[in-house]
Amino acid sequence: MLNKKTPLGRFADLTWKDIETWAGGTIVSRGRNYQRQGRVADLAVTDDGGLLAWVKGSERYATMVVMDEEGLPESTCTCPYERDCKHGVAVVLEYLKQVENNCRVPQAKQDDERLILLADGGRDDDEDLISEDMRRDIDGFLQGKTRAQLISLIHDLAGQFPEMASEMADRRQVISGNTEAMVRRLRNEIRDLGSEPGWQNSWNSEGYTPDYSGVRKKLETLLKAGHPEEVLTLGRELVTTGLRQVEESHDEGETAMEIAGCLPVIVEALDRSSLDSADKLSWALNAVLEDPFDVCDALAEYLDRQHPRTAWHTLADRLLAKLHGLKGAKGDDEFSRNYERDRLSRWAIHALEGAGREAEIIPLCITEAKMTGSYDRLVQRLMAARRYEDAEKWIKEGLRAIGEKWPGIGAGLRDKLREIRTLEQNWPVVAALRVEEFVRRPSLQAFTDCRKAGVKAKAWPQVRESLLGYLEKGTLPWKQKGWPLPESGLKEPEADQRHRYPLISDLIDIAILEKKPDQVLKWYDQRPQGRFGCPWLDEDAIADAVQVQAPQRAVAIWKNKAERLIAQVQPKAYQEAATYLRKAGLVMSKQNNQAEWDHYLGSLRETHARKRRLLEVLDGLDEKPIMKKRR
């Protein structure tokens, strides 16, 4: 019989919930597979009550598991993860199996190889020690060689390692001043690297990411040798080729990051080049304007630095002329044309600021707003200059001009008017503007915004009733009896005809916010039924809100949500289902319905007996010890 007070005895008390708390569901599943496949070998116990074993993964790893003060395992391993990995889980499960089967687990010797490996930090530290020994051997070997022998050795190594030969050739050409061959070779390397798009398949961990580290190193070599112009020439080709490659790639930005890693070298070359200050700014800006992927962020940062005012003056004139040349451009759709103008005008404003020509900025913003609808930028500038009357004038002009065409710009302009009224402390109009936004897009956040403004306007009770009335029946707040707020000064929105009232989801969210579980259930019971139901409802939040007053309803909601997830037959869905089942089990336990809960879990196991991964997840809900009691 195990002594439960000993470290080894505490392993026998572990439940599946303990194991999942320690390592997480995914790692536990993998560890179970390793243990079932017999990957744990030479299991032993240490003098201090830990477990020690070899575990066969992609390689053979030494793994040790001990119990911490909180009664949970803690593992170290020579695998890349090092701590709390699947190998540790497999060792614990193998130990429990051995004890359950009454098998003797031997004591580890004090000089056990695995203890030494783990004490040294595993494989990486050993490799460092070996590398240091090798370096000493190499030093001793080379010191005894003649010049001819060293040359012969280098020739042999260069034949075996082409990259070494290429590196030596680059250095020789740079030192001799003949960089044409190196530039030509580097240009070809950039073209070759850029010819194949990057891609990643997260399902099977396969993919291809071009490696631009060699290009970066060669660019650095050229720059150190005093050839910034050649680096800039190659940098232009790198940007053009790289942006095309990023556009064609299907990854999560790895290709863009590789190319972006070369850009700091380009920036340094730009700084050292013989271009005048204005041409340097133009060179950087042209690259940034070509780049929709933020690959050239290093060049954008360069443009944010301090530069001579005369350079900004010249750049501003160039950009203003370019903007003037875009007038009446044909062939592009309106969105693309406006996007191009807005990017140019933003940098023109930046250049005008650098040149100290602030007086030209607001007139430029007015011109551009009329052409592209960029009223929000204009209003921001006017408000920053405290020209609030002019700002209000352009807010209303912008809303008239864009109408419902660009809702995002319209919302931004209405926000600016609300800021002006807030500065004036005109709380009734601030509240009226908030209510209009609520009508346009009902949401819990919009409701809380209305509450803050309504309280300041000393009208919240009436405003609240009107908002709820709108959500229930679709009657606009300002058309309801006793509406307490004045007109906002803007055109009032109409009720969205796409809405079907009552707006169940918003009413439930508000009832949860106001902690009214009876109202939560009232509206929940009125949700649409049928095949598609009401998928946008946050049923978990609903169950959380009613679990004290209506525990059986909360449990039913969580069970139903879990069962729908289980029906997806996906391991990830099983894990999510466990979250809801765990909540349901906790509530039933508090209601002294543990037997009923155990019966429910048993029925799930029986119904889904063939779903091994689900059964493992259900094991994690069980707080009984993993190891069965021996008679």
The 8-class DSSP code of residue 492 comes to P
Q: What is the mean pLDDT of residues 83-102?
A: 94
Residue 284, pLDDT score: 98
Residue 168, pLDDT score: 65
Residue 624, pLDDT score: 76
pLDDT tens-digit readout, 435-451: 999 999 999 999 999 99
Residue 183, pLDDT score: 92
The pLDDT of residue 123 is above 50 = no
Whether 374 and 397 have beta carbons less than 8 Å apart is answered as no
Query: How far, in Å, CA of 74 to CA of 64, rounded?
Result: 8
Least confident span in 16-20, 215-219, 450-454: 16-20
The pLDDT of residue 569 is above 80 = yes
The pLDDT of residue 319 is above 80 = yes
pLDDT tens-digit readout, 276-297: 999 999 999 999 999 999 999 9
Q: Establish how many alpha carbons lie within 13 A of residue 526's alpha carbon, considering only the half-sphere containing its beta carbon.
A: 15
Q: What is the mean pLDDT of residues 512-537?
A: 87
The pLDDT of residue 126 is above 60 = no
Query: How far, in Å, CA of 74 to CA of 68, rounded?
Result: 6
Query: How far, in Å, CA of 150 to CA of 542, rounded?
Result: 78
Return the percent helix, strand and coil in the chain, to nearest 5: 65, 5, 30
The pLDDT of residue 582 is above 60 = yes
Name beta bridge partners: 77: 63
The pLDDT of residue 2 is above 60 = no
pLDDT tens-digit readout, 460-502: 999 999 999 999 999 999 999 999 999 999 999 998 888 889 9
Query: How far, in Å, CA of 63 to CA of 122, rounded?
Result: 10
Using 50, 70 and 90 to split pLDDT, how confident is the model at 10? confident
Angle subtended at Cα 63 by Cα 59 and Cα 66, rounded to the nearest 5 degrees:
165
Residue 327, pLDDT score: 65
Give the domain ranges of the chain.
7-126, 182-307, 425-517, 538-619
Residue 128, pLDDT score: 42
More confident residue, 401 or 204: 401
Give the three-class secondary structure for 201. strand
Least confident span in 15-19, 42-46, 385-389: 15-19
Q: Which two tokens stand for residue 359?
A: 């007086």
The pLDDT of residue 631 is above 50 = no
Residues in the chain: 631
The pLDDT of residue 333 is above 70 = no
Q: What is the mean pLDDT of residues 315-344?
A: 82
Residue 177, pLDDT score: 65
Query: How far, in Å, CA of 555 to CA of 398, rounded?
Result: 52
479: which residues sit within 8 A by CB, 6+ positions away?
none
The pLDDT of residue 328 is above 80 = no
261: which residues sit within 8 A by CB, 6+ positions away?
212, 213, 216
pLDDT tens-digit readout, 227-269: 999 999 999 999 999 999 999 999 989 999 999 999 999 999 9
The 8-class DSSP code of residue 306 comes to -
Using 50, 70 and 90 to split pLDDT, how confident is the model at 130? very low
Q: What is the mean pLDDT of residues 155-166?
A: 71
Burial class of residue 401 (count of CB atoms within 10 Å of its CB; 0-12, 13-18, 19+): middle
Using 50, 70 and 90 to split pLDDT, how confident is the model at 182? confident
More confident residue, 136 or 279: 279
Whether 55 and 34 have beta carbons less than 8 Å apart is answered as yes
The pLDDT of residue 532 is above 70 = no
Q: Over the chain, what is the mean pLDDT?
A: 90
Whether 596 and 575 have beta carbons less than 8 Å apart is answered as no
Q: What is the mean pLDDT of residues 512-516?
A: 98
Residue 58, pLDDT score: 77
Whether 525 and 557 have beta carbons less than 8 Å apart is answered as no
Residue 630, pLDDT score: 41
Q: Is the dihedral of CA 57, 58, 62, 67 positive or negative?
A: negative
Sheet holding 40-45, edge to edge: 40-45, 51-56, 60-67, 73-77
Q: How far is CA 149 from CA 86, 258, 392, 517, in A?
A: 51, 39, 84, 88
More confident residue, 4 or 288: 288
The pLDDT of residue 125 is above 50 = no
The pLDDT of residue 331 is above 70 = no
Q: Which two tokens stand for residue 68?
A: 């911490």
Residue 14, pLDDT score: 92
Q: What is the mean pLDDT of residues 534-540?
A: 85
Using 50, 70 and 90 to split pLDDT, how confident is the model at 137? confident
Whether 470 and 477 have beta carbons less than 8 Å apart is answered as yes
Residue 430, pLDDT score: 98
Residue 428, pLDDT score: 98
The 8-class DSSP code of residue 331 comes to S
